[in-house]
Chain A
Amino acid sequence: MAFRLPKGVREYHDMVNNRTDGGVKFKYLFDFYYLCLMLGLDKAKIGPKENLESGEFVDDYPDPYKNVSEIVAGLLIDAEMRRKDIAPQDRTRIENLMLGIIDQFSLTGLNQEGLDLLNRYAVTGFEEIHTNITKTSELETFLVHYYQLFNNQVGA
């Protein structure tokens, strides 16, 4: 049970992390995964499993993300509710949705189904990034474009 990267993420990530001009780089590969994930959850759209790398890249949140793991789980529940069009007063469906993705014994708090969904949301997020943000080695430029994309300021 682990996080898997959307195919193509490494090229974007590596472009930044191979920069030689002394600029800031990603500290974790997970940072880029997280950015893809947030965008995908925002869109409430999952991508195909085939667009994920076959191997896993981490099986738990890196340290800086451990205290947001429950928030991510919350965003996942929210995204799934929107994606499946679950009415806010439908107690049973919401409860079943939550039970279907949580695992009290796993490192991430999510079961395989939950992690698979996160990974597929990341696929969508990466497609958004890939379509709207030109690959660059400058992390500072990438982050600005990402924020603008996330807040629908593309082209601003």
Chain B
Amino acid sequence: MRLRILSLSFKNIRGVRNLDISFKQGERKPFPISLVMMPNGTGKTTTITLLRAVLDGQAATWDSNIVREFKPAEYDPPKGEFSAKLLFDNELYNVTLILNYEKGEAYYQTSRVSTTGGGLDVGHALPPLAKDMFQKEFVKRFVFDGELAKEILSSDSDEAEKAIKYLYKVNRLGELGTRIDQIIEQIQKNAEKSNIKSKQALSGLRTQLDKIKKTLLKLKGRQKELEAEIGSKSNRINNIELQISEKIKANADLRERAEVLTNERNTNKIAINAAAQSYLEEIRIPYNLSRNVAERLNQLSGKLYNLKLPRTTSRQFFEDLAEQPTCICKRPIGKEEKEAILQQANEYLGDDQIGVINAIKQAIKDKTYNDSLENKTNDLIAKLDERQRNATDWDRLQVMLEEAGDLEIQVLNAEKVKLINQVEKLNNEYEALTTKDKEKLKRLIWEENIQLCEEEEENKKERLAEASNTVSLTNSSERVNRYLKRIETEVLKLLKEKIRNETNNKVGSIIKNDTLNIENIDGYLHLTGKKGASVGQTLAIAYSYLGAMFDNSSHELPFVVDSPAGALDLDVRREVSAILPTLFKQLIVFITSGEKEGFTDHFYRLGPDVQYLSVAKNKDADAALLEGVEEFEKFQEVASS
């Protein structure tokens, strides 16, 4: 599906009041890029909100306060309208959102012009594919604002992953699973109603199941809370350690020693990492693990040779022999002899079986133990000891500062100790909540552990299924749900990898002064070796990510963005402005005059495919639309008010 926005029209809307904005470059073709200068207070945010509503159809659920917020302040019209002319593939739709300020209600009208006839529909009547896809959350991803960009990189959000799920409809698999569960639940409830005798028992089971589900939800919520709390406290501990380190380095008496220790620590860390990496590779060779392993392999090899295993004659030899008129000893092979040979042939291995055993025999032969891993272990132990010594020496410096009366260090230390204790308690709670270790589970109850709670839920569901005679139906639904889950996981994995690679390509071609690489997409975008990025880089990454996502989709959607460069440094604005035109087939950008500098320069070089519009707000009058690059360039907010 291909969507283009051809025009927007405002009637009695706060800010602009009455205004028509056309993005058309040809009759049914918009400019690839439209820059719309709208001063603050003119209605950028209003435009974004209304455009989203036109696409997702959510305005019908707005309450009266929200509807009336769009009424102009200067006069009192009974209603307002916002329309968008949309081209879906080659079909023209005009979707109008009517805001009845008197009644506080919003409703839609859709008119369409198609090759097979048109019509006017009451309601939000987009083409079925668009109606299905343009859910509220999905529309936000291509009618965009900067806040969403931050969420894509924020560890508190799973925005990045959600975006993929919505665009590629992977979320529908989960919804299908939920629907299946609802159907089963309804069938079970119907069974309860129809059997009076067991009604109470079934009702009791259902109550218990509901309680377990609530507890499970609570436990999972607590898991997220603990992860966040442990994360933030651990960060604070790291910050304190940094501050202490700075204090030590700032002390003239201790500085030299501190620098030596810091260098030693860094060198040691690099050495340990290299040693551990090499160790991990070496340990994958089984006969290097210990002399015993190498000896056993050799002994087994010896046994197989001595026993002449596998037997060299294969089943195929006898099968072929049975087909011959005479045996290798020259005696004739008749029917009886043939049957006897074929029967005995089954005692022998097939050629390919012999091949596998021979391969094993060859692989385990002459394997000698070498003490390289032993040496590496000793080396690693030495490096770990060095690390420990360095840590002890460092602590000693800290003690020296405290003893010298440095109050701040004492306070920081006290806070660090307190935090470490808190983190330990939280970790213990987290461990109890999330452990799957069977020994630890024996000491826990289902109300405090997720695994046990899930098992309890399963047990209760089974009992309910038995009691309501829905066992086989429940089993089937569970099987389907498992398949759906597996499909969802696999599909998401493949999509994420593809999009990750493409995003990295786009980011790499744009941000040249820093190495930014997305390591994986797990809820949010994890950057390699970094916990976050600067504001500009965040936006650059978010736009590259969205571009990669939409690139790979079979749908072509416009990208509408409010203040794409925001309050950014000039060089960062240049980065962002260079990316955006490359990512989307239709781009509509709303900016203020204050954001022009550094952002619009790039667009001026792109030639006639860029449209320049300026919306001038007039006091107590409708906003005016000025077209052309000259007006755009000289437009200043002060002059317009």
A31 touching B360, Cβ below 8 Å: no
Query: Is there a chain A Cβ closer than 8 Å to B473's Cβ?
Result: no
A34 to B381, CA, bound (A): 22
A88 to B301 alpha-carbon distance, docked (Å) = 11
> Contact between B280 and A27 (Cβ–Cβ < 8 Å)?
yes
Asked whether B384 lies within 8 Å of A140 as measured between CB atoms, the reply is yes
In the assembled complex, A118 has its CB within 8 A of some CB on chain B: no
B310 touches A95 (CB 8 A): yes
CB neighbours (8 Å) of B363 from chain A are 70-71, 73-74
Instruction: Please tell me if the beta carbons of B297 and A71 are within 8 angstroms of each other in the complex.
Output: yes
List CB contacts (< 8 Å) of B310-337 with chain A.
Answer: 310-311
**Binary interface profile of B, 276-296, with partner A (CB < 8 Å = 1, else 0)?**
110111011111011011001
Cβ contact within 8 Å between B286 and A147: no
Flag if B289 contacts A38 (CB, 8 Å): yes
Contact of B355 among A78, A104, A143, A147 (CB under 8 A): A104
Question: Complex formed: what's the CA distance from A23 to B271 in Å?
Answer: 11
- Contact, CB under 8 Å: A23 / B273: yes
Which size bracket describes the interface of A in this complex? Answer: 35 or more
Which residues of chain A come closer than 8 Å to B287, judged between CB atoms? Answer: 71
Tell me which of B277, B283, B352 has the highest count of chain A C-beta atoms within 10 A of its own C-beta.
B283
Residues of A within 8 A of B383 (CB): 140
Given A51-B438, A74-B297; A94-B303 close (CB under 8 Å)? yes
Interface of A is mostly: helix
Q: Which of A121-156 contact B (CB under 8 A)?
A: 130, 139-141, 143-144, 146-148, 150-151
Nearest CB of chain A from residue B179's CB, rounded to whole Å:
23
Measured between beta carbons, the chain A residues less than 8 angstroms from B357 are 98, 102
Is B136 interfacial (CB 8 A cutoff)?
no
Tell me whether A75 and B437 are in contact (CB under 8 A): no
Contact of B436 among A8, A31, A68, A103 (CB under 8 A): A8
A139 to B437 CA separation, bound complex (whole angstroms) = 20
Cα distance, A75 to B295, chains bound together (Å):
11
* CB pair A94 B438 closer than 8 Å: no
- Whole-angstrom distance from the CB of A70 to the nearest CB of chain B? 4
Query: In whole Å, how far is A60's beta carbon from the nearest beta carbon of chain B?
Result: 15
Question: What is the interface size of chain B, counting residues whose CB is below 8 A from a CB of the partner?
Answer: 57
B380 touches A140 (CB 8 A): yes
The complex places the Cα of A65 from the Cα of B296 at a distance, in Å, of: 20
Contact A78 B307 (CB under 8 A): no
Tell whether, in the assembled complex, residue A102 and residue B286 are in contact, meaning their CB atoms are under 8 Å apart.
Answer: no
Task: Identify which of B234, B280, B309, B434 contacts A98 (C-beta below 8 A).
Answer: B309
Give Cα A151–Cα B299 distance, bound, in whole angstroms: 19
B272 touches A42 (CB 8 A): no
A141 CA to B380 CA in the complex, in Å? Answer: 8
Chain A residues with CB below 8 A from B272, complex form: 23-24, 140
* B49 contacts chain A at the CB level, 8 A cutoff: no
Report the minimum CB–CB distance from A104 to chain B (whole Å): 4
B435 interface residue (CB < 8 Å to A): yes
B286 contacts A144, CB within 8 Å? no
- Cβ contact within 8 Å between B360 and A70: yes
Q: Does B269 contact A (CB under 8 A)?
A: yes
- A151 is contacted by which of B234, B290, B367 (Cβ under 8 Å)? B290
From the candidates B276, B360, B436, name the one contacting A74 in the complex (CB within 8 A).
Answer: B360
Evaluate contact between B279 and A143: CB separation under 8 angstroms.
yes
Q: Mark B253-278, 1 if CB is under 8 A from A, else 0.
A: 00000000000000001001101110
A102 and B356 form a contact (CB under 8 A)? yes
Asked whether A7 lies within 8 Å of B356 as measured between CB atoms, the reply is no
Q: List 6 A-B contacts (CB under 8 A).
A: A8-B438, A11-B434, A23-B269, A38-B286, A95-B309, A140-B279
- 12 more A-B residue pairs beyond the given contacts A20-B234, A78-B297, with a C-beta to C-beta distance below 8 A: A7-B437, A8-B435, A8-B436, A11-B435, A11-B436, A42-B292, A64-B284, A70-B360, A71-B367, A78-B296, A109-B359, A143-B380
The 3 closest A-B CB pairs, nearest first, are A70-B363, A74-B364, A104-B352
A residues with a Cβ closer than 8 A to B are 7-8, 10-11, 20, 22-24, 26-27, 31, 34-35, 38, 42, 51, 64-65, 68, 70-75, 77-78, 81, 88-89, 91, 94-95, 98-99, 102-105, 109, 130, 139-141, 143-144, 146-148, 150-151
